[in-house]
Amino acid sequence: MIKYFPLKGSVLTLGITAILAGACENKRPEGQNAASEDNKNAVADSTAASGSKLSSEPLVTDIYTADPSAHVFNNRIYIYPSHDVESTVPEDDLGSHFDMKDYHILSMDSVGGKVTDHGVGLDIKDIPWAGRQLWAPDAAFKNGKYYLYFPVKDKQDIFRMGVATSTSPTGPFKAEPKPIAGSFSIDPAVFRDDDGNHYMYFGGIWGGQLQRWKNGKYDANGSKTDLNKPEDPALTAKVVKLSSDMLSFAEPVKDVVILDNAGKPILGKDHDRRFFEASWMHKYNGKYYFSYSTGDTHTISYAIGNNPYGPFTYQGVVLKPVTGWTNHHSIVEHKGKWYIFYHDSKFSGGKTHLRSVKVAELKYNPDGTIQTIDPETL
Ligand code: FUB
């Protein structure tokens, strides 16, 4: 991530958005001190949107949530989002005002049903090595244990990935004492393949620091937002198989290469198609769908491959730009339908760092391509 400019789109859009947000009956979050945070892991039912209006309304409205990673465990949908809060840290090009400090886990029986906020599942103060900025997490399940993967800056201000474990999908999670060895950057997305192997996809440019890593070394003086030469292949997301205990990387990290239709890598100058952040992997009809945010061009795009490592061939846009700067999603199947969980900043009146998680149905064409979703029509 990101140079966090204010809301893109017209003043008119912003005005309409604000009116709509004000018109809905939802309670507005009150900064960081939402009631459920006082009671660690307490279960608080939230007003869920329902029926056909579901996709345009936040899943919860007493806190701000973003970067939703949705999974189905025991036939229930669990959502692992960032917990956005108001911040005293000034806005800068690296998203320093995205100063999140804990995670709330949400769940629901089915899309359209009641959403439960399970309270704080992990707090930054319980991560021994953490410095600041608890960003987009993901979760996985294996052999009776749940794993919460999270990026946070360490005390040297370098993003690393940590893992925390629990016997419950809703936590509380206990963080391992150190970051995952060899981890860097942001936005972990953990995918379980049909053979039981788990892979982590990750990375984010600009504030996500991916451009500062060369040959396993971090350059603190490296560019903040500048990347490769524009004619070079774009910086890639990363993929790595996880160890059987789910706590470490089982192999060296590899590049997630995205090709165009001619089989050439997408170039750095191709801002409409190149990877920026927010990786996700799902499998559909035996194919591997790698989806991601294009960052400064604000779409969720996708590419298809034949195995978890790729290469992946660019296909198009899954989700057009949402209100707010960031776009971040997950894709999950439940009860025979596919859904995209995403966020936007409508409910906060367009504040980029105060986002709300939403859900919409995702549909495929007969040839396996995804029908593009325009969030403004939901
Ligand atoms: O929530 C903080 C950052 O914003 C995430 O890590 C990015 O993907 C973007 O959504």
For 260, phi and psi rounded to 5 degrees?
Answer: -85, -175
The proportion of the chain whose per-residue pLDDT surpasses 70, expressed as a percent, equals 85
The residues near 155 (Cβ < 8 Å, ≥ 6 apart) are: 129, 130, 131
Cis status of the peptide bond prior to 172, with omega within 30 of 0: yes
- Known catalytic residues are 67, 277
Cα(295) to ligand 1 centroid in Å equals: 10
Residue 98's pLDDT band (cuts 50, 70, 90) = very high
Q: What gap in Å lies between CA 53 and CA 315, rounded to an integer?
A: 29
**Model confidence at 11: pLDDT above 60:** no
CATH topology of domain 37-377: Tachylectin-2; Chain A (2.115.10)
Q: What is the average per-residue pLDDT within 151-160?
A: 98
Q: Give the percent of the chain with pLDDT over 90.
A: 79
In the DSSP assignment, the letter for residue 342 is E
User: How much helix, strand and coil, in percent to the nearest 5, is found in the chain?
Assistant: 10, 40, 50
Tell me if residue 139 falls in helix, strand or coil.
strand
Average pLDDT over residues 358-369: 98
CB 223 within 8 A of CB 212: yes
Residue whose tokens read 């999908």: 169
Residue 91: what pLDDT?
84
The answer to whether the CB of 112 falls within 8 A of the CB of 51 is yes
Q: Pocket residues for ligand 1 (CB within 6 Å)?
A: 1, 66-67, 82, 98, 135-136, 186-187, 204, 277-278, 326, 328
Of 195, 183, 282, the closest CA to residue 238 belongs to 183
What is the pTM (predicted TM-score) of this model?
A: 0.89
Domain boundary assignment for the chain:
37-377
Work out the number of other CB atoms within 10 angstroms of the CB of residue 178. Answer: 12
Calculate how far, in angstroms, residue 41's C-alpha sits from the geometric centre of ligand 1.
24
Assign 14 a pLDDT band (cuts: 50, 70, 90): very low
Tell which wins on pLDDT, 293 or 216.
Answer: 293
Residue nearest to atom 5 of ligand 1 (CA): 136
User: 12 or 224, which is more confident?
Assistant: 224
> Among the atoms of ligand 1, which is closest to the Cα of residue 133?
2
pLDDT digits (tens, 9 = 90+) for 230-267: 889 999 999 999 999 999 999 999 999 999 999 999 99
The rounded distance, in Å, linking the Cα atoms of 282 and 256 is 14
Higher pLDDT, 64 or 231: 64
Mutate to test the pocket of ligand 1, among 87, 98, 149 (most ligand atoms within 8 A of CB): 98
Kindly report, residue by residue over 334-363, the tens digit of the pLDDT: 999 999 999 999 999 999 999 999 999 999
Tell which atom from ligand 1 comes closest to the C-alpha of 327.
Answer: 10
pLDDT, position 202 = 98
Rounded distance from Cα 136 to ligand 1 centre (Å): 6
What pLDDT sits at residue 205? Answer: 94
Distance (Å, whole) CA 188 – CA 196: 18
Q: Find, among 345, 365, 367, the residue nearest to 64 by Cα.
A: 345
Distance 367 CA to ligand 1 centre (A): 31
Query: Is residue 40 pLDDT above 70, yes or no?
Result: no
